[in-house]
Structure 1
Amino acid sequence: MTEPSIPFFSPSLFEADRETALRLVYEIGTAPEQRFILGEFTARLERELAAVSGAEEVVLCGSGTGALTMALAAVGVGVGDEVLVPALGCAPLAAAVVSLGAVPVFADVNPGTLTMDPADAEARVTGRTRAVLPAHLFATMADMPRFVDLAKRYGLRLVEDSAVAQGAVLRGRPAGRWGEIGIFSFVQVKSFGMPGEGGALLTDDPRLAERLRLFRNHGQRPGERFVHRTVGWNSRFDELQARFQLHRLPGLADRLARRAAIADRYTERLAPLAGRGILVPPGGDEGRCAYVYTVLADDRDALSQYLQVRGVATHVYYPRPLPRHAAFARYAPPGARWPQAERACARILSLPLHPGLTDEQVERVADLVEEFAGCRPVSHR
């Protein structure tokens, strides 16, 4: 099969930074201190991200999944506790809960935003509920004001999965700044992705930050070795990656702006297709994060195939709800349904969205979706 002319993932994610990356490998690899984890560049990147986000503390770690696990542990989630999680999303939302011996309680999603429905989540609160874990998804932040209220009324801990939402703002407050702890992911395709794994935890609570720094380094305090104050994880941040991210941070705003412009153009072109079985995500700037542009198509598989044979790659996040996976089936009560999540999983289709797309490529994708919907004459190129 030939490569698509418009790939879903950028074929040259870090091509413009190749020479810089090679230089940094040499500089850090030959530096006299031979410090490859949790060094001065990690600390500097933490300070820079704190300044950008407004958080009092930023703790870098080995991955977004590690960030989720440590955040839940830091707020006291443990064996037998229940954590409210969305039924639609990535596996770490539930896996991080399970890894601590806790129980994921799946709540249905809002049919418009596809993020966890606060009303459905509230209906699932029990005496064992310890925390609520809303996650921003695709291009939309979760309804964080309602989750803040829910957590306060029931005395729950609030962890915000903002892995995909760096740069988004809701009611003047950035993503990652609504929960007691917010998390980001820096895996390659994220908005602030890097050539490797990494994550960040944001908090205003110095006690939580201290716990997180212990957790990421086998329970050792910064500067201490072989003094293990608690059981932790190996979730340390790489110095080369920190230095590389410091190099790329000044360009993040422009890359986010380009993503937003592409998403806006898709919405402008495709919103009129609502009556033809294709719904676009919510528009505007409020609470929006142009990470993945996902439409809801009544005939998703046919649309995907139509685009594929014409050179446009697409992706399905996610083909089934979390409680329908074998890994989490034991946490699904017999006969339980999540109708909005189930319906979304049969219809979601993500279109290419990354800063490397040209205006011509964006228009070509929109043209083809319109053709499929019967709103445009079929081209033969």
Structure 2
Amino acid sequence: MTPATGRPSPVTAPVPFFPPDLFEEDRDTVLRLLYELGTGEEQKFILGEHTRRFESELARRLGAADVVTCASGTGALQLVLTALGTGPGDEVVVPAFGCAPLAAAVLHTGAVPVFADIDPHTLTMDPADARRRVTGRTRALMPAHMFSVMADMPAFNTLAAEYGLRLVEDSAVAQGATLAGRPAGLWGDAGVYSFVQVKSFGMPGEGGAVVTDDEETAQRVRMLRNHGQDGRHRFLHHLVGHNSRFDEIQAAVQSHRLPGLSARLARRAAIASHYTERLTGLPGITTPPAGTDGRCYYVYTLLADDRDALREHLTAHGVHTHVYYPRPLPEQAAFAPFAAPPATGRPSGPKDAPAGRTNGFPWPHALRAARRHLSLPVHHMLTDAQVEHVADTVRAHALRTG
């Protein structure tokens, strides 16, 4: 990738945000595994030997005591919260900016999500604001790694220990990242990964995992994912559980793809580094925090003062982009009833104020991030020419309008 200048480079085909041929090189293997499992003598399609092997491989790679796969990353969050005893009357502090499962998983346990604002630079939950949200009803903290940046887990560890809280690490987007030498997912009582197609270790279907160094938590999650059974005796239910079991075909596919994960992550990191080099300092553009510690480039997300205009410009030049969270969670209709009101009046949302103003909204950094964030293609299948085209196109817009 050689820096270019001037107008966007001549890339004729669109630059996809998600590669449409992501699993093309795995096609023959997937078909073979499907046939072998479908015609195998055991005829076991969930929670079999492939699942056990995949869990062991992940645990060994992480240096974790246990990995428990389940039906989705969202399911993993709910299983962890339930395993840790979260329930009615409890509160869980979650980021005000992020994916719906951060709040929904809490509500499904009967507890209430308490929204904390985010750090304006990392876009992850601000430990100082989280501290202000802790009450006598707080059961757990649930920071989430956001886009390419891990949350300040040392600070959350300290906060959890100070108040005797459980710490759940939403590392759904951060598989492969490490912070201060510790892998994402292993900073709290338990962490979760997501294997849905678009994640860094995505697969052709839904899936997730709980990672933990606590044997009791792992045992409870393992029962909860399978209707409260202990895995040794069918139809004996020790807990009120869920159907969140892992698919044998997907487990076999993920075991096949696991050895190539490091190379794919390295390619993403190289692309991200090049974007940062080309885009830092442009008028109206804020690039992600620099550095390599605590980074995993699931997506590359910048902040733009004129986000919508930039997105239209990129679309016009064939670059597909993504806006993940157009509203903070407290402003979503599903979760607004559970959001604490500001000191005066009703929360003011994105429709109530122009960009840059928050009108007393109690999570101002989350609101600004919702209005300004834009994710660029960063997947490992991008060519150097496509990467250069993306960078050139962003630069051309910023320099023309800035």
Same topology, TM > 0.5 = yes
Q: Residue type of the partner of 2:200?
A: S
- 1:46 aligned onto 2:71: no
Q: Is 1:245 aligned to 2:254, yes or no?
A: yes
TM-score of the aligned structures, taking structure 2 as reference length? 0.91
In structure 2, what is the equivalent of residue 345 of structure 1?
Answer: 370
1:229 CA displacement: 0.8
Secondary structure of the 1:28 match is helix
Distance in 2 (alpha carbons) for counterparts of 1:87 and 1:235: 27
Structure 1 counterpart of 2:97, one-letter code: L
Deviation at 1:334, TM superposition (A): 2.4
The SS at the match of 1:42 is helix
Q: 1:93 and 1:4 mapped to 2: Cα distance?
A: 36
Is the partner of 1:13 in helix, strand or coil? coil
In the other structure, the counterpart of 1:12 is 21
In the other structure, the counterpart of 1:24 is 33
Separation (CA, whole Å) in 2 of partners of 1:54 and 1:375: 49
Q: SS in structure 1 opposite 2:148?
A: coil
Cα distance between partner residues in 2 of 1:318 and 1:185: 18
Instruction: Name the counterpart of 1:161.
Output: 170
Spell out, residue by residue over 1:207-237, the C-alpha distance to the aligned partner (whole angstroms, 9 max, x if none).
1111001000000011321101110000000
Q: CA deviation at 1:272?
A: 2.3
Matched residue type, 1:167: G
Partner of 1:291: 298
CA contact (8 A) 1:132 1:158 kept: yes
> 2:399 matched to 1:374?
yes
Query: Match of 2:381?
Result: 356
* Aligned pair partner of 2:159 in 147, 150, 158: 150
Residue in structure 2 matched with residue 91 of structure 1 by the alignment: 100
- 1:257 match: 266
Report the counterpart of residue 211 of structure 1 in structure 2. 220
Whether the aligned pair in 2 keeps the contact of 1:4 and 1:313 (CA below 8 Å) is no
**1:303 alignment partner in structure 2:** 310
Alpha-carbon RMSD across the aligned residues, in angstroms, is 1.1
SS in 2 for 1:287: coil
Instruction: Summarize the alignment of residues 15-164 of structure 1 with structure 2, pairs less than 5 Å apart.
Output: 15-164=24-173
Work out whether residues 89 and 137 of structure 1, in 8 Å CA contact, stay in contact via their aligned partners in 2: yes
In 2, Cα distance between equivalents of 1:334 and 1:91: 19
Query: Identity over aligned residues, as a percent?
Result: 66
Give yes or no for contact 2:65–2:214 (8 Å, CA) kept in 1. Answer: yes
CA contact (8 A) 1:87 1:322 kept: yes
TM-score in terms of structure 1 length: 0.96
Decide whether the 8 Å contact of 1:4 with 1:312 is kept in 2. Answer: no
> What is the aligned counterpart of 2:325 among 294, 318, 326?
318
Matched residue SS, 2:217:
helix
Shift of 1:375: 6.5
1:304 is matched by which residue type in structure 2?
A: R
Q: State how far apart, in whole Å, the 1-side matches of 2:296 and 2:331 are.
A: 27
Aligned partners of 1:158 and 1:99: how far apart in 2?
Answer: 18
Count of aligned pairs: 372
- Which residue is 2:203 aligned to? 194
Contact 1:183/1:199 (CA < 8 Å) preserved in 2?
Answer: yes
Q: Where does the alignment leave 5 or more consecutive residues of structure 1 unmatched? A: 377-381
* Structure 2 runs not aligned, ≥5 long: 1-11, 348-361
**Distance in 2 separating the partners of 1:90 and 1:239:** 27
The one-letter code matched in structure 2 to 1:256 is L
